[in-house]
Amino acid sequence: MVKIGVLALQGAISEHVLSIEACGAKAILVKSKDDLNLVDGLILPGGESTTMRKLIDHYDLLVPLQQFASEEKPMFGTCAGLILLAKKLVGYDAAHIGVLNATVERNSFGRQVDSFETSLVVKDIATDFPAVFIRAPHIVEVGPGIEILATHEDRIVMAKQGHILGCSFHPELTADHRIAAYFTDMVKESLAKKASV
């Protein structure tokens, strides 16, 4: 069975676990470097990116997470997770994990009170995905190798770069598991590719 980790430091952890399990994969909570070694792919959930970064540093996870990405193991960041994956952040000198070749702006859709849900066209996944935006970031600019999967009001809200997937919204807060299934398929394809080498 495919094993997908959820970075379990802060944020919408249990919702991602349920979504992974609905796609027939095994969900594993990742809180340490040893936990990372147990999984084939990793989800970085929504939450509060500054708090998550402090906890990543506290548990010495930054380099192991970068190493995980360098081994071409699939990673999927939602909302705060997208911020953690981005190579550049508007208004900040340094990135966090810095593996997605994109520039991201935090809280670009407003504050908590400005949260909303809309239907999105997501390339290769859905023409009507119910996307929940909560203090959401967006992708301001993409670099080489990035495929744009979804936009909302001319802002990029989902993109893929090889084995890295990121979105501005919270797919785990709905009963629609199509994006989780897409990521699960990315993990399966990664495993099949490694097995054939």
The residues annotated as belonging to the active site are: 79, 170, 172
- Specify the residue for token string 């970075």: 7
Between the alpha carbon of residue 130 and those of residues 24, 56, 118, the distances in Å are: 21, 30, 6
Residues 1, 25 contacting (CB under 8 angstroms): yes
Report helix, strand or coil for 130: strand
Place of tokens 């949260």: 115
What is d(CA 183, CA 52) in angstroms, rounded to the nearest whole number?
22
* Cα angle 70-131-136, degrees, rounded to a multiple of 5: 65
